[in-house]
Structure 1
């Protein structure tokens, strides 16, 4: 297929930056590269390193009032935070602090929460490490913006700081904090992006945590009460297909696909499980997953095509950001379907024309 621009070129005309991929071909996840999966070697490598599960920073000019309002909207309404890949610098520091704060609650906004969000000073490295420990140690479920919390810190400081801080915190906890599962799961993406030597060291340290807390080296059968088990999340991060087979289970309207996102060693199993998914009747935040398309191949994208009209409107930009770099006939079919949706019509049509 012809060469073309990538997703960054299709996004609004703001420069997007991240330190997530700075290790490049020396990153731990680089050996999973699939040349020709996208339109360029650069995005081929980024998919091997976990794209689209990353975040970018922009220099969008916002004053303090605008930045605070956007953070509050993201926390209270949730919708603005779902599927957003880029955040202005002026917002990112405030949002990170707010997400880790014990006084910021979406349904009970207080003066204390306002004070947290008002702090727009750049986050220092020591503060970043402390915030990561605070997020892991939360005594309530981690907020919807947990993905943004970790990946924005990674965009600012690079994957080494984030991966080391999470690993060190887990080493110091026995048992792992009850609500740490999603933090552990997101670590799997960051581990792909650290330099390979460090990746091997960190994974060995995490394996020691797993063995210490789970001497049988195999979590028991998964049931609904264990859905958010941090040990199960660590199993998925460390043990690929074997862990996925232990951990995947039916959920209310289909199968649990998230557990496949770290499965880099069994494309056939990814396709097998994705094929069992049924469209949720209430797809609050459902969207096609480009990570699974990378892991399982074009058949995964083809599986999503009948459901394109069900994508939540606020997630359409994320879907287009995620799939725009992928060079396949199935991606063309996906963008053709997106071009029939009013909210995504213009951008999808531009992508098709650019081919």
Structure 2
């Protein structure tokens, strides 16, 4: 609340919002290509998944036949309610572990707070939301790190465990496998409409706070070995990264892709975040999409926050939205 008793809108204190505030994918790849990461001379564990394929988390094998999954994710407010923002950010951070086929075991808060602008009561609600989600996931929340800064930011560093022989990786896809998606698209455009107008979209919040735990477990039970979560680079961006890493082409049936109620109307009304447009510009040279309208392409590239899993396989309750085929001239093909 501000000094007049009105609700302070957290989204107004951030230039971006949620995973749409990521560094654009093309710029990030250029940055990482020149970073020159050093490797340890006497490593304490075997690195199974690193930066090479742009997967969702790092994985190392340790003694005892298990592997440790490590990730970090944080972002500016995607909704105005601080408790909901905390829940969404926590679910999003945990998702990277689920996307690798792991189970999160411990998380640390990452908080940046403009202490001279926003009261700590709001920060406390953010942290309470994050704690609620980690408790629901069965993951310990054990402290963290905080700094002051001009924009509020929140997220988590998460550590999980996984079977090294049953990882879900983005480079394990093969031709002939169906593609399934476990959450509908449209989170980016609905969140942007919320930021501009203050309208609240319960269907978007419910989608973002839903954990990908059951989907991950179902994928492992079904013998799936290839998956990724759909977040800031949109469905097309993450499908492209999966296809490129696996040496195949991803075919997307646009009509089969689930979309949240109100998302198409938000696109038509012009509530498209800059991150979604940048996603589309980045991925289009790798996409063949003859005859697909701009509204659909924007939604397929829409920057998702705490989105679902894109799975190379089938699991109960997740619609099949396409398939992997032998590598062709394009990494992604969109069919009408």
TM-score by length of 2: 0.28
Greater relative contact order: 1 or 2 (C-alpha under 8 angstroms, separation 6 or more)?
2
> When you count helix as a share of all residues, which structure comes out higher?
1
More strand by share: 2
Q: What TM-score results when the alignment is normalised by the length of structure 1?
A: 0.27
